[in-house]
Amino acid sequence: MSSLGPLRPSPLVDQATAHLREQITGGNWPVGTKIPGETTLAKTLGVGRSTVREAVRTLAATGMLQSRQGAGIFVVADRPHEDWPARLRRASVTDIYEVRMLIEVQAARLAAERRTDDDIAVLEGAMDARRAASGWGDAEFVDADIALHRAVVAAAHNPVLTDLFGEFAPALRQGLIDLVDLLDLRAEHPGHGEDTHAALVRAVVDGDGEAAGRLTTADLEATLALLRGA
């Protein structure tokens, strides 16, 4: 556990940030602590107030510090928060898939309500591409499958749903390729799940949100069961 003291010349903001971080991670400033003021910290560290200000801003961006209007700067976490891609890299495929289900089922319902003529053209093209991919390798087939699901999500016209899908789809890709290969899912039916996906596209095109949600649930639950048993 280190204590605060004057800094040596070098990237002062980096040093100041590191020293303040150590006060938090080392337990000197527990969560809930109001940290010393800018002037006090500048004097203790032997740097300018602008350096302290930038260091505090850096730690606030990591989720460790928070400025409260009229009250000061407080410690709100004892470690930096992970960004979304980092969390996904650590998560299991089944955990990510459960989140996928929550997102895609609602997206399918919304897509049935909001799809445009352009969306319909994209969906039908994606379905054709998935059918064509039945004659290709597993990686190409999985990519075509993900592209179809992405088209359904896009048709919901909710940018948050689209962004979420864009974040977790790459994290699922390799797990799905491995699953298809491990269980040889395409041995008898190279277009694995083709009928269900065609029905999903038809439900969205027809504006049948209930059917779109039901078909998406059935498709994703079946794959999740395979992932859990693999």
Q: From CA 92, how far away is CA 88, in angstroms rounded?
A: 8
- Give per-residue pLDDT as tens, 9-25: 447 888 999 999 999 99
Residue 64 three-state SS: coil
Residue 207 three-state SS: coil
- The tokens for 207 are 């504006």
Q: Is the pLDDT of residue 144 over 90?
A: yes
Same domain, 71 and 128: no
pLDDT classification of 195: cutoffs 50, 70, 90: very high
Same domain, 218 and 171: yes
- Give per-residue pLDDT as tens, 116-138: 999 999 999 999 999 999 888 88
Give the pTM.
Answer: 0.64
What number of CA atoms fall less than 13 Å from residue 189's CA on the CB side? 8
CATH number at residue 37: 1.10.10.10
Same domain, 161 and 225: yes
| Start-to-end CA span in the chain (Å) | 45
Q: From CA 180, how far away is CA 227, in angstroms rounded?
A: 10
Same domain, 65 and 111: no
What pLDDT does 135 receive? 87
Q: Which residue has the higher pLDDT, 192 or 137?
A: 137
User: Which of 21, 55, 75 corresponds to the end of one domain?
Assistant: 75
Neighbours of 55 (CB within 10 A): 24
pLDDT classification of 169: cutoffs 50, 70, 90: confident
What number of CA atoms fall less than 13 Å from residue 63's CA on the CB side? 7
Give me the percent of the chain exceeding a pLDDT of 70: 87
- Give per-residue pLDDT as tens, 63-84: 899 999 889 999 999 988 766 6
User: Which of 43, 75, 107 corresponds to the end of one domain?
Assistant: 75
4 within domain boundaries:
no
Same domain, 43 and 156: no
**Residue 126 buriedness (CB in 10 A; 0-12 / 13-18 / 19+):** buried
Question: What is the arithmetic mean of pLDDT over 94-120?
Answer: 94
Measured between alpha carbons, how far is residue 138 from residues 126, 173, 187 in Å?
17, 11, 11
- The tokens for 85 are 């891609």
What pLDDT does 6 receive? 57
Closest CA to 199 of 99, 150, 127, 121: 127
Same domain, 53 and 143: no
93 within domain boundaries:
yes
Neighbours of 207 (CB within 10 A): 13
Closest CA to 109 of 193, 216, 224: 216
What pLDDT does 9 receive? 44
Domain that holds residue 161: 84-229
User: Which of 35, 58, 75 corresponds to the end of one domain?
Assistant: 75
Q: Is the pLDDT of residue 8 over 60?
A: no
Domain count of the chain? Answer: 2
Same domain, 25 and 107: no
What pLDDT does 83 receive? 63
Residue 67 three-state SS: strand
Q: Which residue has the higher pLDDT, 99 or 29?
A: 29
Measured between alpha carbons, how far is residue 45 from residues 4, 18, 41, 57, 65 in Å?
7, 11, 6, 16, 18
144 within domain boundaries:
yes
What pLDDT does 94 receive? 85
Same domain, 148 and 62: no
